[in-house]
Chain A
């Protein structure tokens, strides 16, 4: 076997572990977040899939963006996404992350999440029901298996484009960092 083949085999083994143990960071911004408690508790029992909530972005694998994003929360979302360790995946919930949903004409709300960070799976609906949420996670597992969940790679490759979109919407901010002065 060549080195590429060996690397690919190792990556496939790693993918098996990664898709069977997805730790979530729940960035609960809107109403879709209400679908997560029934998915986690005895009704649908997400832990069967090896999924569980995590308290900090460093430990998490999946970022769940559940609802509309105002410009202020988007900035924190990007910080959070960039802190997560790779490989990392993003799941967008509901129509707000797809096209702005019912808040599409608000001055403070962004319409397409995909312009700012790469999204691997969307769960459609306003709000999606819990079966759809569970289905979305199964879809994400399937995408990881077929190596199509490569949003974190696309973020590296198209970083200029994402950065430009982020700056256009958010503007740059001066961070006063006393620690490093």
Chain B
């Protein structure tokens, strides 16, 4: 594929991720509503919210504030362009290395951090500080477990890891082959998505939405789009690394919806940790379990 076609295909992947995740998030609002004995909004409510935000007037707090939002959205779209959807549906052949995602996703996060700090609101700075602290906490156990997988398969390409799992049949998925690591991965995924016990950096009741406190109108709409694509990247990474990837798009959709709904359901029966509890939790149990799993898998060869 020529480079121009690859870029168009990559933008298509990002758009697909946005539409998919926004629909799934809307469906999940209905699922959660049923959990709380309510009826819930329409499934396309999230689209209405985003388009409404884009139709509103917005206040600016200086050019860093505006530029950071664009940088965040651009960084996340650039990350999503490299994401494989199925084994063959991949915009940039050979460029879906795991470390590309780890590095590029930080561009989006840092853009948002810069923009939020530029708003001058102290609650935004507190939120950014908490978001980066949470990131520091969940990245370490997640990295240990992914490096174990890379060691076992000898590949660091996301689609190659997915195919390595498919070769061994359905029960060679790493969430089953490395059961302790699977638990760690789910916990880290909850931290990444900002789900309930680890959503300290949003904390609407205490720090008024944290980093998003000064956003309204168009900038908030762009951050919503950014958030949906970020969730798409993180959940897809989980599907490819731990659930055996997808041979075709139907399997991908089923696995994606199942993972996101499962995490969301856990989220809505939980309370919220304080920020020091988040860090202590991640450095205590998931990191311990991840190291035990790594030693078991690499040195003792105990892989189911």
Contact = CB atoms under 8 A, between A and B. Distances in A.
Contacts of A56: 208-209, 212-214
B209 A50 contact: no
B55 A18 contact: yes
B33 A45 contact: yes
A42 B52 contact: no
A54 B208 CA distance: 8
Interface string B202-216: 001100110011111
A164 interface: no
Interface string B26-60: 00010001001111111001001101100111110
A59 B220 contact: yes
A58 B57 contact: no
Interface string A14-39: 10011011010000000000000000
Contacts of B45: 20-21, 50
A72 interface: no
B194 interface: no
A58 B41 CA distance: 23
A73 B218 CA distance: 30
Nearest to B59: A85
Contacts of B52: 14, 17-18, 20-21, 61
Contacts of A23: 49
B55 A86 contact: no
A41 interface: yes
The main secondary structure of chain A at its interface with chain B is loop
B39 A48 contact: yes
- Interface size class of chain A, counting residues whose CB lies under 8 Å from the partner chain: 20 to 34
B42 A50 contact: yes
A42 B208 contact: no
B74 interface: no
A1 interface: no
B216 A55 contact: no
A84 interface: yes
Contact of B57 (A13, A47, A86): A86
Contacts of B39: 45, 48
Contact of A85 (B36, B41, B51, B58): B58
Contact of A58 (B38, B55, B204, B214): B214
Contact of B55 (A14, A41, A60): A14
B251 to A, nearest CB: 32
Contacts of A13: 55
A58 B216 contact: yes
A50 B49 contact: yes
Given A41-B38, A58-B59, A85 B216 contact: yes
Contacts of B59: 58, 83, 85
Nearest to A88: B56
Contacts of B212: 56, 59
Nearest to A53: B204
B33 A84 contact: no
Contact of A42 (B38, B49, B209): B38
Interface string B199-236: 00000110011001111110010000000000000000
Interface in B254-294: none
Nearest to B214: A58
Contact of A47 (B41, B213, B214): B41
Interface of A: 13-14, 17-18, 20-21, 23, 41-42, 45, 47-50, 54-61, 83-87
13 contacts: A14-B55, A17-B51, A17-B55, A18-B55, A20-B52, A41-B38, A42-B36, A48-B38, A56-B208, A60-B216, A84-B216, A85-B57, A87-B56
Given A18-B56, A48-B40, 9 more contacts: A20-B45, A20-B52, A42-B36, A47-B41, A54-B204, A58-B213, A59-B215, A85-B58, A87-B57
